[in-house]
Amino acid sequence: MASATVPTLTLVRLCAMQELRLSVRSRWTQIFAVVFAGLALAVAASGYVLSGGSGLQDFSRTAASLVELVLILVPLTALVFGVMALTPDAGAAELLYSQPVPRPTILLGKLAGLCLALVASQAVGFGAAGLLLFWRSGADGVMGFIGVVAGSFVLTAVFLALAAALTAGATSTRRAHHLAVALVLWFLAIVLFDVVALGVASLLRSGTASRLLMVAVIVNPVDAVRTATLLAVEGTTAFGAASLAFLRMTGGALGAGLYLAASVIAWVLLPLIVAVVRVRRADI
Amino acid sequence: MTTAFLLVALLAQTPQSRPADGPAPYGPLEGRPSVADASPLQQRVDAAQPGDRIEVPAGSYVGDLYVDKPLHLVGVGRPQLVGSGSGSVVRIRADRVTIEGFDIDGRLGGNLARDSSGIHIAGRLALVRDCRIVRSLFGVYLREADDSVVEGVTITGIEGKAPGEQGSGIHVWNTLRFTLRGNTIRFTRDGFYIQSSHYGLVTGNRVSQIRYGLHYMYSDDNRFEDNVFEQGAAGAALMFSRRLVFARNQFIHNRGFASVGLLLKDCEDVTAVDNLVADNQRGFLIDGAIRHVFRHNVVATSDVAIVIYDSSSENRFEENTFVGNLAPLLLVGRRTDTVFERNYWENFHEPDLDGDGVRDQPYRLSNVFDHLRGNLVAADLLAQGIGAAVLARAEQAFPVLRPISVVDEHPLVRAPERGDIPRMPQENPRGARAGLLVSALGLCLGVIGLRAGRRR
């Protein structure tokens, strides 16, 4: 069998390239790239206008708005693109999975390709926005900006993994169902989770409530990325006294970084494991 | 005699009498230094005729100097006056003394209770210019020194010494019509401490790493303009004073625990125009403030822009710009009659359909988070998020909490022209170059990535 002689990494790379090619040919990736770049540019431009062109931390204010854009758009696109790509038409799925390649390898390859396509389109948007931002503000915030970009890439990986866990082994007949579930998941992650956390916190005693909110911020990958990037961009001024409380609980900047990183890594790995198990068992 | 006259004049000037605990009691004045402690320049000073000009050549002169007649002391080539370590280095005990061009070293010596300073002035019409003062408990002390001027003096206090153990950069006590201009002060207790002194002007100074940059106590009718106060517990603290006017100052980077850009306590009729209050833990804090007007200031990137105690009344905020503050207002006590009119609130996005430059809905300076923030520090972690925005919208549509009704009836669509308001120092342009490079690289890599998918 071919898979015995070809190393798995090569297979993953082959699948990834094929997926990248597919998504680029479908034109949706480019459309996303253009839309994302347009929105990022709009944020970069309006961030400057909103502060009255005052030079009042134009950079970090704008970077913070850019983070908000990322938090809304990136999980949504990663989920939708993931579900669309991982629920192929029945014939295509049969053809693909009948190749002498282990199913998890195909799945991981497809995910890598998708991730590459999305990351590349985001890089275009960030690049364009960054050019405008740094040109206008003349700020010294490269590391913060890289942090925002990295946060966006991490969110892409997290929500692609979630899409994979959701759809592993499915075909296009269930696509609408999976899309609906993905949308619910997205809403849950970016809105409902925070609302519930705040609601519960307002019922508890203040010490417990504060701890609950800090744990909530770590556990939810969207909040984790938001907290990490805003702290990276604005330092402890990002959340006022709450930043200090958060750093105290997590044991300083390094501790906070580790907790947040552990959370998002778990959010990539656990769904991937679920996806691999499910695709092995799936009846295609 | 003059003091009595001044007191009468003051009482006539102000409708209310001075608070009983106002002026500090008279302390003993440091007198002529002992022969052992005296500066080698003392003989020249004693031999001079009133009104003489004495040029002091470069060199180091150890000992304290006592000036009891009008003289013009000029350092040529920056001579060093090194104190004896037992009191003030230069003691001015006559009117019309000018001293310029000296480097003064207090040698950490003297006595706080006796106001040991680099230059201690107890005479009117003194002029101190272009001096550097280090390691002294007080920098320059004006004691009943009406019409005196201190300008272009650099004072570096004793770094790491607790505020209680050293004095202020420039201390003004019971002095009228003083002028403090273009001085630079660091590492002292307060930058300027001004007590029971009226009709003064403080302008173009730069103060950092102190407790309070500028501290008025029981001092009426003062102006301060074009100063920079940064990295203190408070940029400025105005207390128990009336009719203060300040413009075009910067109160920035006061970020420590419970720090504040501008603290106003039990003052009346204060006017603030064209100031920049940015990157502070709290912007303005007003407690017991009566009839203050805050017009055309910028309050930016604070945790809380304004803190108002309910002991305040009849205050107005007009045409100020609020940008990037985590919360606009914290009320201590449940009520306030503070008026907000025609301010610009960066985070308020109601439309302006009739195009008159004023948003169609009033801006409410409190939201659901003020209720949480009060006893829940971590609420701010989520306060700027999407979930919180949804929550705030919902609460606005279906109010379940009884909000404190502080509103700006006519919030502006655009920030008022900045005009005279100072700008934050520009950030590092080299950093921008790195940012541009990274952005361009990202753009290229992204395009290459997308093109890689098209090949073959």
What residue of B is the nearest CA neighbor of A146? B438
**pLDDT confidence band for A101 (50 / 70 / 90):** confident
What residue of A is the nearest CA neighbor of B419? A54
Of the candidate ranges A85-99, A156-170, A211-225, B150-164, the one whose mean pLDDT is the lowest: A85-99
pLDDT tens per residue, range B15-34: 333 344 444 445 678 899 99
Amino acid at A37: A
Do B324 and A226 lie within an 8 Å CB cutoff?
Answer: no
Give A131's contacts in chain B (Cβ within 8 Å). Answer: 436, 439-440, 443
Q: Does A194 touch chain B (CB under 8 A)?
A: yes
Cβ-based neighbours of A9, under 8 Å, separated by 6 or more: none
Which helix (H) or strand (E) element contains residue B390?
Answer: helix B386-397
CA-based end-to-end distance of chain B:
101
**Cα four-point dihedral sign B197, B203, B206, B208:** positive
Tell which residue, B339, B347, B403, B399, has the closest CA to residue B370: B403
Which CATH entry fits the domain spanning B36-210: 3.40.50.261, 1.25.40.340, 2.40.50.140, 2.160.20.10? Answer: 2.160.20.10
pLDDT value for B27: 64
pLDDT value for B264: 96
Distance from CA of B280 to the nearest CA of A (A): 9
pLDDT value for B9: 45
Give A21's contacts in chain B (Cβ within 8 Å). Answer: 453-454
Q: Does A79 touch chain B (CB under 8 A)?
A: no
- How many interchain CB pairs under 8 A, A with B? 241
Give B415's contacts in chain A (Cβ within 8 Å). Answer: 51-52, 54
Give A50's contacts in chain B (Cβ within 8 Å). Answer: 323, 346
Q: Which residue has the higher pLDDT, B452 or A15?
A: A15
Interface test with B, best of A239, A248, A259, A260 (most B CBs within 10 A): A239
**pLDDT confidence band for A57 (50 / 70 / 90):** low
Distances (CA, A) of B87 to A33, B127, B414: 72, 21, 56
Distance from CA of A205 to the nearest CA of B (A): 9
Give B436's contacts in chain A (Cβ within 8 Å). Answer: 130-131, 134-135
- 8 Å CB contact between B364 and B349: no
Do B423 and A54 lie within an 8 Å CB cutoff?
Answer: yes
Distance from CA of A234 to the nearest CA of B (A): 10
- The answer to whether residue A141 scores a pLDDT higher than 90 is no
Do B321 and A52 lie within an 8 Å CB cutoff?
Answer: yes
Which helix (H) or strand (E) element contains residue B152?
Answer: none
Facing residue for A242 by CB, picked from B278, B301, B381:
B381
CA distance A221 to A155: 7
**Residues of A (115-154) whose Cβ lies below 8 Å from B:** 116-117, 119-131, 133-135, 137-142, 145-146, 149
Distances (CA, A) of B175 to B3, B90, B125, B143, B272: 10, 19, 11, 6, 23
Averaged pLDDT in 10-residue chunks for chain B of 456 residues:
45 40 59 92 95 96 96 96 94 96 93 92 97 96 96 93 90 97 96 97 96 96 96 95 96 89 96 94 95 95 91 95 88 87 90 92 79 74 83 75 79 88 70 84 90 69
**Residues of A (200-239) whose Cβ lies below 8 Å from B:** 201-202, 206, 209-211, 213-214, 216-217, 223, 226-227, 230, 237, 239
Distance from CA of A283 to the nearest CA of B (A): 30
pLDDT value for A217: 94
Give the phi and the psi of residue B161 in degrees, each rounded to 5: -80, 140
Facing residue for B445 by CB, picked from A59, A72, A123:
A123
Q: pTM score, two decimals?
A: 0.81
Tell which residue, B234, B227, B226, B241, has the closest CA to residue B209: B234
Residue B418 CB neighbour total at 10 angstroms: 18
Q: Cα angle vertex B32, ends B26, B34, to 5°?
A: 130
**Residues of B (205-244) whose Cβ lies below 8 Å from A:** none
A281 SS3 class: helix
Do A130 and B279 lie within an 8 Å CB cutoff?
Answer: no
> Tokens representing B410?
């006519």
CA distance A213 to B376: 9
Q: Does B28 touch chain A (CB under 8 A)?
A: no
Facing residue for B443 by CB, picked from A25, A123, A237:
A123
pLDDT tens per residue, range B175-202: 999 999 999 999 999 999 999 999 999 9
Distance from CA of B395 to the nearest CA of A (A): 12
pLDDT value for A136: 76
pLDDT value for A34: 93
Do A25 and B454 lie within an 8 Å CB cutoff?
Answer: yes
What residue of A is the nearest CA neighbor of B303? A240
**Residues of A (19-78) whose Cβ lies below 8 Å from B:** 20-21, 23-25, 29-30, 33, 50-52, 54-57, 59, 61, 64, 68, 71-72
CA distance B130 to B78: 10
Burial A221-247 (b: 16+ CB within 10 A, else e): bbbbbbbbbbbbbbeebbbbbbbebbb
Do B438 and A130 lie within an 8 Å CB cutoff?
Answer: yes
Residue A143 CB neighbour total at 10 angstroms: 13
Distances (CA, A) of A231 to A96, A123, A127, A246, B280: 44, 21, 21, 11, 17
Mean pLDDT of A211-226: 94
- The answer to whether residue A71 scores a pLDDT higher than 70 is yes
